[in-house]
Structure 1
Amino acid sequence: MAHSVDKPSFFDETNYAYWKTRMMFFFKSKDYKLWDIIEDGPFVPQRSKAEWSADDRKKMELNCKALNFLFRALSLNIYENMSSYESAKEV
């Protein structure tokens, strides 16, 4: 079965170690900073949203991108348990 380099590997609740390794390299190949967000947690600006710089916004977008990829890779059963999380590190 061919796998797309643009889509994350789907986790069907079997062989977690294999899926995790594939996802690690998927994130690193998209943008290495995405993997940093998963390992270290998201950047959280220490000012109001109205005061965010372009760099603050870009860093916040990284967490959203990582969450998007993760949620697209999870079965519905797993997604339902994780959908309330707000950071890729939590997922």
Structure 2
Amino acid sequence: MNRNVSESQNISKPPFFDGNNYNHWKAKMNIFIQSLDYNLWDLIINGPDLPTSINENAEKVPKPRTRYNDEDRKKVQMNAKAKHIIICATNSNEFNRVYSCVSAKEM
């Protein structure tokens, strides 16, 4: 086996994080997500704009799914796509640390 040849990455799968060399993985994930959809990258950096409504106390609260319109569904779907990419790229230890996060930014 030629030790000078490095492993290649499947361009349709996110780089896998095994718990080591986080900075290397992070740089690869940045490029991978940006290459899929730059809006996903913006969502991860800025956080999602999840649907909200105003309750009787004039407070902003999460909008019930039963009241989502098409734009609301697009917002939550973008967040779900970003979360899916991150989940697919992590080992079971890292998965256990992030799976309960509401947003990709939290992850």
Q: TM-score, normalised by structure 2?
A: 0.78
Q: Give the RMSD, CA atoms, in angstroms.
A: 1.2
Query: 1:49 and 1:19 mapped to 2: Cα distance?
Result: 34
Gaps of at least 5 residues in structure 1 are none
Query: 1:88 and 1:46 mapped to 2: Cα distance?
Result: 17
Q: Which residue of 49, 53, 71 corresponds with 2:87? A: 71
| Identical pairs, percent | 38
Q: Deviations over 1:35-76 (max 9, x none)?
A: 111111111112443332222211210100000000110111
Runs of 4+ in 1 over 6 A off after TM superposition: none
Correspondence list, 1:1-91, <5 A: 1-47=7-53, 48-91=64-107
1 or 2, which has the higher helix percentage?
1
Query: 1:81 and 1:46 mapped to 2: Cα distance?
Result: 26
Query: 1:53 and 1:31 mapped to 2: Cα distance?
Result: 23
Gaps of at least 5 residues in structure 2 are 1-6, 54-63
1 or 2, which has the higher strand percentage?
2
Q: TM-score, normalised by structure 1?
A: 0.91
Query: 1:11 and 1:42 mapped to 2: Cα distance?
Result: 23
